[in-house]
Structure 1
């Protein structure tokens, strides 16, 4: 089986490393790849968001399955394009990807279907967002609506810091169009954990939970990043918690997306 993995980060390196161990896998191509993937697969010099060129490369190389890593090409519609070309692809289509590419969409979905989430308000007006933040207490979280490479969520320890984040996102446009809307969210206290899952749009199979080191400096200091590292499994997260998250968050979210006509699979 010939595989094409889209992306050029540590995530794609890990995927390629594991996929290369399967007896069912023959050749692996990675676009654009990195120095690590180049040791175990064939890198193709095409950017992850150049989806037309990627589709052509997939056809030229007789790819049997494409696996999409980054969010940006998913939000651009790479799965829709590949499927139109008859290329089997692992990843959600453009409409389903909105749950990742728009924090406002995701929050409104959770609120509509009673899925547990932090309290929040969304704004498209800087003045309205500023007035709302000034009436809140810190700490508070300010989030750019769109994709921002993991850096669009700012945990503000003071109202002044929150106002600065609002200005950077909505006025200075540091994240471009991702800042057309913002989400102002309550700051939740506790241990942070990520629980991902596989789904075909109906059945949900959780993966092993993981803890992500998102902040740029040691000691959990500094702004958020796309991820400085992670460890798995966390000792505090047991099977009971996994089942609880599956039953109260993961499965209801998959059902909600299906009801909205955006099946996530």
Structure 2
């Protein structure tokens, strides 16, 4: 089979790497890919950046299946465009992608189908939103309605914080229209978990759970990032938690997908909060998480291509996904200054004797050598029989990855209680 994988981050390198392990796959075109995919077996980077370009390439090169990594093309309707042309593509249609593309739509969907979630209000009027934050209980969560590259959610401890978030989102328009409509949501106190899953619109199969570490500094301090590291499985996702998640979140979500007639064949990612009052849904994503994908796929024993074909053929009910009985730890190595300003173009040195898998994110290939090209540069992913063992291997190998100003958290998987 010939595949097209759309995207350029760590998630897409992990997907391409995992798909390359399938004996059913001959070639994987990564559009545009990164320095890691350029070096991966069976993978070829192609400089494509728009739906029209992806479509033309897929037709001209007789691509068997296109796999969409990031959310933006899904929200723009790439799946609808490809299917009109009779091409196989893995991802939800434009209507299904609204579950991530609009926080307000997602919250209304949750409410309509009885998905357990936090109380909320939606606003398009700045003055009305300001009036609401004067009288609400704190802390409170302010969310930009549209896509904001994972940075459109602010936890506000007091009114001044909420006021700043409203001004940034609605007045200064820091997200170029995505924050003109906002959701103000009840704050839930507990432990977060990420549950990636796959659906064919009739069945949803959850993957193993994981735990992301969003904030830049050790001890969960500082501003949020796209994710500084992940462990899988999440130690807080007990059998009881998973049972409650399936009953109160997954099953009503599947009912909603069917009732709303979404053409949803792809990944649905559940961001959940485990609280003393039960398990709540924080948000949907309509693609694999980053860096959750890196940690989760590293433990998948099954052939990812078989699973994707099972979804495309609407046969997931007969698919059994196998996982290694191990733990994984993914540590992100970032550029100095991230998530604010940072410099690019520094040479990357990786020693040969790594036990872990190195996944490239913000890295490109220049004259045969990797150089930094983003905020989150690389992910070092290790596995072990215990979480401690996986962490020990990951941190041992992180020290063997070097570039000027490299930065990483030292406590991924350590602070599992918050």
TM-score between the two structures when normalised by the length of structure 2: 0.61
Structure with more of its chain in helix, by fraction: 1
Matches of residues 172-187 of structure 1 in structure 2 within 5 Å?
172-187=172-187
Q: Is the 8 A contact 1:119 1:185 kept in 2?
A: yes
Contact 1:196/1:207 (CA < 8 Å) preserved in 2?
yes
Give the corresponding residue for 1:192: 192
Can you list the C-alpha shifts for 1:191-250, whole angstroms capped at 9, x where unaligned?
Answer: 100112111111111111111112233321223232222111112212332232122211
Give 2:44's aligned residue: 42
Q: TM-score, with normalisation over the residues of structure 1?
A: 0.96
* Unaligned segments of structure 1, at least 5 residues: none
| Cα distance in structure 2, aligned partners of 1:83 and 1:224 | 36
SS in 1 for 2:226: strand
**In structure 1, C-alpha distance between the alignment counterparts of 2:98 and 2:195, rounded to whole Å:** 19
Summarize the alignment of residues 218-257 of structure 1 with structure 2, pairs less than 5 Å apart: 218-257=218-257
SS state at 1:177 partner: coil
Residue 25 of structure 1 pairs with residue 18 of structure 2: no
| Secondary structure, counterpart of 2:228 in structure 1 | strand
Alpha-carbon distance in 2 for matches of 1:240, 1:89: 35
Decide which structure has greater strand share.
2
Q: 1:181 offset after TM fit, Å? A: 0.6
Offset from partner CA, 1:60-104 (integer Å, 9 cap, x none): 221100000100000001111111122111100111100110000
Q: Which residue pairs with 2:126 in the alignment?
A: 126
C-alpha contact (below 8 Å) 2:29/2:45 kept by paired residues? yes
Q: Which residue of 1 aligns with 2:260?
A: 260
Higher CA-based Rg: 2
Q: Say which structure, 1 or 2, has more relative contact order (CA 8 Å, 6+ apart).
A: 2
Structure 1 counterpart SS, 2:225: strand
State the superposition RMSD in angstroms: 1.2
Secondary structure in structure 1 of the residue aligned to 2:118: coil
Give yes or no for contact 2:114–2:248 (8 Å, CA) kept in 1. Answer: no
* CA positional deviation for 1:263: 4.2
Please state if 1:168 is matched with 2:171: no
Aligned to 1:63: 63
- How far, CA to CA, are the matches of 2:133 and 2:151 in structure 1? 20
